Amino acid sequence: MLRASVAAEAAGVPSSTLVCDGFLGLAANTSIGLGAPNIPIATVPGHTGVQSKEELRRNVLGVTLDDVVNNLTGETATATEESEPGARDVVVKGGFEEVNRYFYEHELGDGLPIIPPTRERVEEFLRYTHRDPDEVLGILLPDSRGATVWSIAVNGVMAGCKPEYMPVLVALVEAMADPYYGVEHSGNTPGGETLIVLNGPIAKELGFNYTQGVMRDGFMANTSVGRFWRLYTRNIAGFLPHKNDKATFGNTWRVVVPENEDVVKELGWQPLCADMGFAAGDNTVTISRFTGGNHISSISGSTPEEMMPYLADAVVRQYSWQIMFTVGQGMGTLRPLILLGPIIARTIAGWGWSKEQLKQHIFDHARMPAREYERILRDWTVKPTWNLEEEVRLGRIPKVFFESADPDRLVPLVWEPDDYMIVVTGDPARNSAYVFAHNGVLGYPVTKKISAAPAGRGKRAQKKETHVAAS
């Protein structure tokens, strides 16, 4: 509603955005990013989702209505904006502790110590990209701040990345700025967190872990690049807890998950980057936001048919309200992710199954009764779209969702087999998988190619630094 209100005010039409108590801070900070820091807001006491009709009516008439009338008939306050330091301004001088204290107090860090982004360190990162430091890769909501190559280098230094990772960081920010991903939803209620999947020979070249403990911190490349994502989302996009980040519980950042392409090639399968439209062997990053996940331990069986019930059941059990991204909000945008341990993938492929056959089998068997599907849509998500027969009749969803009137018929979680994303990674000797619950259109998968670093970069600078550059 804030965006609509800003558009109305810009056209000279008075507006009033209704905001519940718990979102007043979010509205204030978001309006700043929209360039309208004093947009008129009307308070709705409490949360409408847990109020009776009588209580809601009393709150609206007693509080909200007066705010709306005042907003529509009164004078709009003059907009004021705080200026930010320039890209190369020195914002603090001092030792490690002084720098970290400043960054923490000014909400520029994640609570852990950061590497001071001195000019020398930032410039060393810039030597690993062809891009101009002042180039803007996109405008990131909610703060509407430009994502510059300079700011990527600054946050890469802070996260503890090596300069050699710079091409990966640039590709990540290009993905973050892609409207299909929807960075503006990074602080939404479920607290979904982005997972980065890395493809290509660059994983080996830069020392990324793609075997045992692939999602565990402790490997510099995986850990620091994952941390960079969260720092950049904070410092440039503007998602800060208690402000624009309104995750109810939240998650922390995830380390990067590279695919084990040696195994993928051995199986005759295609890596994720090829599923996303690139060539096998390309260096790419794929980002997508997930609300949670579950480790599926000890998958047993010597044939695919014996193993598949574990996977199909695990996929179904991850999903409840998220199916509104299949039928309802974001029609057909649910993209479940399955991480397959190499030993599981080898067993499946050993029986002649292609990756496409695996996806088809999961599509055919990861299903729930239509009765339950509609109950979740109707009762859990409080959405008007829940009648599968009606949606099929109107041509909004595939016919597979209403092949009969039997309320116990089984219907899929997604529109088509290719909606499933499968990545081979993790401990090569363990019979396990990991299933992620996707956040649909609020974090849709986007893949970007990683550009090669310039040749002849020279040696890394080794100097004692005290001057710290701004983000």
Sequential DSSP letters for 154-195: HHHHHHT--GGGHHHHHHHHHHHT-TTT-GGGTT-TT--EEE
- Give yes or no for residue 103 having a pLDDT over 80: yes
Instruction: List Cβ<8 Å contacts ≥24 apart for 297-300.
Output: 297/432, 298/431, 298/432, 299/344, 299/431, 299/432, 299/433, 300/431
132: exposed, middle or buried (Cβ count in 10 Å: 0-12, 13-18, 19+): exposed
465 vs 304, more confident: 304
Q: What mean pLDDT comes out for the span 94-119?
A: 95
pLDDT for 79 equals 54
Residues 6+ apart with CB under 8 A from 299: 307, 310, 311, 344, 431, 432, 433
Q: Write down the pLDDT at residue 75.
A: 72
- Res 56 pLDDT > 50: yes
State the chain's mean pLDDT as an integer. Answer: 89
Question: What is the reported pLDDT for 467?
Answer: 40
- 210, HSE (Cβ side, Cα atoms, 13 Å): 25
- What are the residues whose beta carbons fall under 8 Å from the beta carbon of 68, sequence distance 6 or more? 16, 18, 42
Q: Comparing C-alpha atoms, which of 91, 89, 96, 165 is closest to residue 464?
A: 96
Q: What is the mean pLDDT of residues 238-256?
A: 91
> How open is the CA angle 353-359-362, to the nearest 5 degrees?
105
Looking at residue 459, what is its pLDDT? 42
CA–CA gap between residue 263 and residue 215 (Å, rounded): 18
* pLDDT computed for residue 462 by the predictor: 37
**pLDDT score, position 455:** 83
Mean of the pLDDT values across residues 310-324?
Answer: 94
What's residue 411's pLDDT? 98
Residue 89 in this model has a pLDDT that exceeds 90: no
- Asked if the model's pLDDT at residue 121 lies above 60, the reply is yes
Condensed to tens digits (0 to 9), the pLDDT of residues 330-377 reads: 899 999 999 999 999 999 999 999 999 999 999 999 999 999 999 999
Rounded Cα distance between 39 and 17, Å, is 8
Tens digits of residue pLDDT in 133-184 = 999 999 999 999 999 999 999 999 999 999 999 999 999 999 999 999 999 9
What is the rounded end-to-end Cα distance, in angstroms, of the chain? 30
Is the pLDDT at 249 greater than 70? The verdict is: yes
On the question of pLDDT at 465 being above 90, the answer is no
Q: What is the pLDDT of residue 466?
A: 37
What are the tokens at 308?
Answer: 């598949």
Cis peptide, bond prior to residue 384, ω within 30 of zero = no
Q: Is 194 within 8 Å of 286 (Cβ atoms)?
A: no
- Going by C-alpha positions, the residue among 141, 341, 335, 110 that lies closest to residue 223 is 110
> Are residues 32 and 81 in contact, defined by beta-carbon separation less than 8 angstroms?
yes
Residue 28 has a pLDDT of: 60
401-415: average pLDDT: 97
